Amino acid sequence: MRTAFAPRQRPSRASWWLLLGASLLLSTGCSTVRLAYNTADLFIGGYADDYLGLDAEQRRAWSPTLRTTLARHRSEELPYLAAFFDTALTDAEQGFTRQGIDCLLDQFETIYRRHFRLASAAAAPLLADLSPEQLTALAATFAEEAEEDAAEPGTKAADRRARKRAERYVDNLRWWLGELSSRQRGIVRNLTRSIPDTAPAWYAYRAEKRQQLIALLRRGAESKEIEAFLIDWLVDYSDMPTELERALPALRQAFTELLLQLQPTFDEAQRDKLLGRLERLRDDFLRLQSRSRMVPVNC
């Protein structure tokens, strides 16, 4: 599944492997979601190993933490995911409204924060155990990715980012709806132009937080301090720059308008595909639970 419901700019590799741990279930196709979930320990462990260069002892030491985290996710987080897709399914069946989309985005924000809080707790002991050589390699990886992803200044570069943003939205929507008509692609292009170009500010903020994290690890911070840092950064946005903070309502508004403008253009096949995707995702997240339930939706 693509994260087409996301109310904020996709973090790219800003959160590196941690994003996989937190968002694995929101980034896989519904036809394989149960398989992905049931092999998540191997997938996340392998990705962390590849990214951080773990040794055998580090992998053994972290495995119980990862298993415990995934068990907590199954019991505590799946009811939120099932409720989210159930709400989305009901809204799609009855017709999306501005109020309903606002509720969906609130639910997504709750899911995002809960996932990253859990992921921060899982990541902290592993990060605290990295060797000086591993920290040097991690800092070099961060620097390399910063160079690859750095946003170019200027109007032409901003225009290119806007085109690429529209392409990403079309690609995401194609997964949910099937092929888009020329009219629908035009709606996407027009609305994505209204999204603030926060790439330069976002990359600068990400680089700063990564540098702070490396400094924290190099001075030998304990697991709890690392966890608090990650939560401040990824969950509470405690020092998010004003430019990025002010952009969030505009991003939310753009997504709302996009869905409301696209909805009347859905043909029967697109509507059926959307409903089928949402229903299967809801059912998968219910079946994965030992005792199927959904959290109450308070909006």
Residue matched to tokens 């055998």: 56
Q: How many angstroms separate the CA atoms of 93 and 53, rounded?
A: 47
- C-beta of residue 271 within 8 angstroms of C-beta of residue 28: no
* Residue 107 or 161, more confident: 107
**Residues near 174 by beta carbon (within 8 Å), at least 6 away in sequence:** 180
The per-residue pLDDT for 223 is 96
Using 50, 70 and 90 to split pLDDT, how confident is the model at 96?
A: very high
What average pLDDT does range 163-179 have in this prediction?
91
Q: CA-to-CA distance for 70 and 74, rounded, in angstroms? A: 6
Q: 250-293 pLDDT, tens per residue? A: 889 999 999 999 999 999 999 999 999 999 999 999 998 989 99
Tokens representing 256? 């709302």
What's the angle, vertex CA 73, arms to CA 203 and CA 273, rounded to 5?
75
**Residue 194 DSSP code:** T
pLDDT at 151: 62
Cα–Cα distance between 15 and 131 in angstroms, integer?
A: 20
> How confident is the model over 35-86, as pLDDT tens digits?
555 655 665 777 777 788 888 899 899 999 988 988 898 899 999 999 999 9
Share of the chain above pLDDT 70, in %: 83
Which of 78-82, 114-118, 191-195 is the least confident region? Answer: 191-195
Per-residue confidence band for 23, with pLDDT thresholds at 50, 70 and 90:
very low
The region of weakest confidence among 25-34, 110-119, 128-137 is 25-34
Please report the pLDDT score of residue 147 as a whole number.
84
Start-to-end CA distance of the chain, whole Å, equals: 25
Q: Domain residue spans in the chain? A: 16-287
Q: What pLDDT is attached to residue 87? A: 96
| Tokens standing for residue 296 | 């109450």
